[in-house]
């Protein structure tokens, strides 16, 4: 049996990826289907994808698969053919090709077995994730977005919504999908007669959310097919107006894809117009927040003066300060503010959930 994990350091793997001459294609896909033995499936597919030099992040569970990967362009057709035939559920599975892509999104293949492909917190055995709402294509999205009897609901985290969303979309303000599901039901409990359109980055969260809304008594539930990525691609291909404003946050090195020229967010430090996410450069923090170029220079890429001071200490002192303390809250939240987020509050367990 070949080794099914990586034995090379992240630093060396990233350097190798950056040195590659061949372009890569960044792609995401998901599928809800039943797997009797997720570990055996993971082991087989891992070996096959390593042979094709695929990098990325893939989760499998008894309920299906969720993947964000990059594939060498010369191997892309071989990858598609293998994927489409390796399991009956993957026959012509939809692949969301990245809108803005330099091919440098991943440098290693991480392939994990999980309880769920998206952490949802649902423990109701009567819930059927296959009973989903109706798919909407780009032209249907545009037709419904101006309908006063239709509500668009953003099923992404608050920091994703902050940099980009559909016109008049409702934010479900939370760091985690598991919290958003009951919140959405409660927020919309008086609107059960309206059309409810759920959307997310690539479709995986809003598809499950549509099933959850149906499970909770909503009747007219829809979700955007392929999420923001597929909507924007199809709208541009068909010459349709793009109703999504700003950036689409993505969970890889890019941290965002530009959908429109609108900048709807602001620097978390000075308030200037800005929608560039970054991670605090202090190894004891790594807070995800929005920072403009001026503040990046002023604070040395840190989220606060506290982290800036710590960053300038000798490496030994930095390690001593980090020892035995909780890492910072990974995500900036307006309700907490930057000062509190540097006080090393434990981060939400599924704050890194991907779509």
Write down which residue in 82, 113, 144 finishes a domain: 113
What stretches of the chain adopt beta strand conformation (E)? 24-32, 55-61, 64-72, 96-97, 109-113, 134-136, 150-154, 164-166, 170-171, 195-199, 221-224, 244-248, 257-258, 277-279, 288-290
pLDDT band at 12 (very low <50, low <70, confident <90, very high): low
Is position 351 within any domain? Answer: no
Query: Are 106 and 22 contained in the same domain?
Result: yes
Write down which residue in 63, 80, 113 finishes a domain: 113
Q: What is the pLDDT of residues 18-51, one digit of tens each?
A: 666 788 899 999 998 889 999 999 999 999 999 9
Check if the beta carbon of residue 109 is closer than 8 Å to that of residue 10.
Answer: no
- Measure the CA angle with vertex 203, ends 55 and 51; round to 5°: 20
Q: What is the pLDDT of residues 182-218, one digit of tens each?
A: 999 999 999 988 999 999 998 999 999 999 999 999 9
Q: Where are the alpha helices (DSSP H) in 8-128?
A: 10-19, 38-51, 76-86
Is position 36 within any domain? Answer: yes
Query: Are 105 and 152 contained in the same domain?
Result: no
Phi first, then psi, for residue 51 (nearest 5°) are -60, -30
pLDDT band at 256 (very low <50, low <70, confident <90, very high): confident
pLDDT band at 6 (very low <50, low <70, confident <90, very high): low
Is position 98 within any domain? Answer: yes
pLDDT higher at 355 or 235: 235
**What average pLDDT is seen over the chain?**
86
Distance CA 71, CA 52 (A): 8
Query: Are 43 and 94 contained in the same domain?
Result: yes
In 3D space, the residue among 119, 94, 102 whose CA is nearest the CA of residue 24 turns out to be: 102
Domain count, the chain: 3
At 19 the pLDDT is 62
Query: Are 100 and 184 contained in the same domain?
Result: no
Query: Are 143 and 241 contained in the same domain?
Result: yes
At 97 the pLDDT is 87
CATH number at residue 64: 3.30.70.100
For 304-317, what is the mean pLDDT? 92
Check if the beta carbon of residue 327 is closer than 8 Å to that of residue 347.
Answer: yes
Is position 66 within any domain? Answer: yes
Query: Are 106 and 210 contained in the same domain?
Result: no
Query: Are 209 and 299 contained in the same domain?
Result: no
Query: Are 179 and 237 contained in the same domain?
Result: yes
Is position 262 within any domain? Answer: no
User: Who's near 19: CB < 8 A, 6+ residues apart?
Assistant: none
Distance CA 271, CA 265 (A): 9
Per the structure block, which two tokens stand in for 315?
Answer: 């490496």
Q: Active site includes 274? A: no
Write down which residue in 247, 263, 297 finishes a domain: 247
Query: Are 157 and 202 contained in the same domain?
Result: yes
Burial status of residue 295 (CB atoms within 10 A of its CB: 0-12, 13-18, 19 or more):
buried
User: Who's near 274: CB < 8 A, 6+ residues apart?
Assistant: 263, 265, 266, 267, 290, 291, 292
Asked if residue 336 has pLDDT above 50, the reply is no
Query: Are 229 and 148 contained in the same domain?
Result: yes
3-class state of residue 134 by DSSP: strand
Is position 332 within any domain? Answer: yes
Query: Are 145 and 223 contained in the same domain?
Result: yes
Instruction: Say how many Å lie between the first and final Cα of the chain, rounded.
Output: 31
Distance CA 273, CA 306 (A): 24
Range of the structural domain that residue 95 is part of: 10-113
Q: What is the pLDDT of residues 85-127, one digit of tens each?
A: 989 989 889 898 887 766 677 888 999 999 888 888 998 889 9
Is position 300 within any domain? Answer: yes
At 351 the pLDDT is 36
> Sheet of 150-154: strands edge to edge?
134-136, 221-224, 195-199, 150-154, 170-171
pLDDT band at 244 (very low <50, low <70, confident <90, very high): very high
pLDDT band at 345 (very low <50, low <70, confident <90, very high): very low
Is position 208 within any domain? Answer: yes
- Measure the CA angle with vertex 325, ends 324 and 329; round to 5°: 150
CATH number at residue 214: 3.40.250.10
Q: What is the pLDDT of residues 257-278, one digit of tens each?
A: 999 999 999 999 999 999 999 9
Distance CA 236, CA 257 (A): 14
Residue reference for tokens 């404003």: 245
Distance CA 156, CA 247 (A): 13
Query: Are 103 and 147 contained in the same domain?
Result: no
Say which of 200, 267, 280, 307 is annotated catalytic.
200
């Amino acid at each position: 049996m070949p080794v099914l994990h990586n034995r090379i350091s992240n630093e060396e793997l990233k350097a190798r990826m950056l040195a590659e001459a061949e372009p890569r294609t960044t792609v995401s896909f998901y599928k809800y289907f039943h797997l009797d033995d997720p570990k055996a499936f993971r082991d087989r597919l891992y070996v096959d994808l390593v042979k094709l030099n695929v990098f990325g992040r893939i989760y499998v569970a008894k309920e299906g698969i969720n993947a964000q990967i990059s594939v060498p362009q010369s191997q892309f057709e071989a990858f598609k053919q293998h994927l489409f035939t390796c399991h009956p559920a993957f026959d012509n599975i939809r692949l969301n090709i990245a809108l803005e892509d330099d091919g440098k999104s991943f440098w290693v293949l991480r392939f994990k077995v999980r309880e769920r492909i998206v952490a949802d917190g649902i423990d109701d055995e009567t819930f059927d994730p296959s009973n989903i709402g109706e798919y909407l294509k780009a032209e249907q999205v545009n037709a419904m977005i101006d309908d006063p009897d239709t509500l668009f609901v953003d099923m992404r985290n608050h920091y994703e919504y902050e940099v980009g969303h559909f016109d008049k979309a409702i934010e479900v303000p939370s760091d985690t999908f598991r919290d958003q599901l009951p919140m959405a039901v409660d927020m919309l409990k008086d609107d059960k007669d309206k059309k409810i359109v759920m959307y997310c980055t690539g479709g995986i969260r809003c598809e499950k959310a549509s099933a959850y809304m149906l499970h909770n008594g909503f009747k007219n539930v829809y979700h955007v097919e392929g999420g923001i990525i597929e909507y924007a691609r199809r709208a541009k291909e068909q010459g349709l107006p793009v109703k999504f404003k700003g950036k689409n946050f993505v969970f890889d090195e890019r941290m965002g894809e530009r959908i429109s020229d609108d900048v709807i967010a602001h620097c978390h430090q000075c308030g200037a117009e800005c929608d560039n996410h970054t991670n605090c450069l202090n190894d004891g923090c790594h807070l995800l927040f929005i920072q403009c170029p001026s503040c990046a220079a002023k604070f040395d890429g840190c989220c606060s003066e506290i982290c800036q001071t710590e960053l300038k200490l000798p490496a030994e002192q930095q390690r001593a300060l980090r020892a035995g303390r909780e890492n910072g809250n990974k995500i900036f939240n307006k309700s907490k503010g930057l000062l509190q987020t540097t006080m090393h509050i434990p981060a939400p367990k599924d704050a890194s959930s991907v779509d």
